[in-house]
Chains A and B, each alone.
Chain A
Amino acid sequence: EAQVTQNPRYLITVTGKKLTVTCSQNMNHEYMSWYRQDPGLGLRQIYYSMNVEVTDKGDVPEGYKVSRKEKRNFPLILESPSPNQTSLYFCASSFRGTSGRELGEQYFGPGTRLTVT
């Protein structure tokens, strides 16, 4: 079954304790992305990756890191989480279009609800 998986699904942590949220896709997609969703602010892109070893900032990258060492995996790292990073996080993946720039339909993971106290 084609899918994007995220782990953990729920996480409660304390300020400053480093954490990693994993994301994996089994569709051989080139493009992967992380979003956060907050009430009243909608979905905002954190980082995206066009392919292995190629990552770029989205609209809200501060406080986050990513890496893309393998095509299927795109972990999100919070080196020193703060309460303002409490949010619902989604990973997504898609193919790139024939020109290499268009995005195909994105498949989203089930979400990770993070609470930082």
Chain B
Amino acid sequence: EDQVTQSPEALRLQEGESSSLNCSYTVSGLRGLFWYRQDPGKGPEFLFTLYSAGEEKEKERLKATLTKKESFLHITAPKPEDSATYLCAVQKTSGSRLTFGEGTQLTVNP
């Protein structure tokens, strides 16, 4: 069965304290892995797409990496405005469904 597991469920950081969020997946063939950010009461907002192991993408304080079994979202020197729930999702090669993980709720304290 396809699974997407995110850890930790919740993470509290001090402003400037770098850390990483994990998304591990078990699917029979990965077409793409997506990262989204969701603020309370709003729809998810796209961050990155990764397609193959070894790929990395960066945007401001965020950097996403991909291996054959997991993806990491690295947050460097976070700010309070980075507080949100971060979601990852996978698309298999065999179709166009998207399977989301349950998310990591990140809180950055000033």
Instruction: Identify the A interface with B (CB < 8 A).
Output: 4, 31, 33, 35, 40-45, 48, 50, 56, 58-59, 90, 92, 101-111
Complex Cα distance, B103 from A40, in Å, reads: 9
Contact B43 A45 (CB under 8 A): no
Interface string of B89-100 (1 = CB under 8 A from A): 101010111111
Main secondary structure of the interface of A (DSSP, over half): strand
Q: Is B44 an interface residue (CB 8 A)?
A: yes
* Total A-B contacts with CB atoms under 8 angstroms apart: 66
Residues of A within 8 A of B91 (CB): 102-103
Contact A103 B98 (CB under 8 A): yes
Q: How many residues of B are counted as interface, with CB atoms below 8 angstroms from the partner's CB atoms?
A: 25
Complex Cα distance, B87 from A92, in Å, reads: 15
Complex Cα distance, B97 from A44, in Å, reads: 10
Interface string of B71-100 (1 = CB under 8 A from A): 000000000000000010101010111111
Contact A48 B100 (CB under 8 A): no
Contact A58 B97 (CB under 8 A): yes
Residues of B within 8 A of A43 (CB): 44, 87, 89, 100
Residues of B within 8 A of A109 (CB): 43
Interface residue from A31, A59, A90 paired with B44 (Cβ < 8 Å): A90
Contact A42 B101 (CB under 8 A): yes
Contact A108 B102 (CB under 8 A): no
Q: Is B45 an interface residue (CB 8 A)?
A: yes
Complex Cα distance, B93 from A24, in Å, reads: 27
Q: List 19 A-B contacts (CB under 8 A).
A: A33-B98, A35-B100, A42-B100, A42-B102, A43-B87, A43-B89, A43-B100, A48-B97, A48-B98, A50-B96, A58-B97, A90-B43, A92-B44, A101-B31, A102-B32, A103-B91, A106-B34, A108-B44, A108-B45
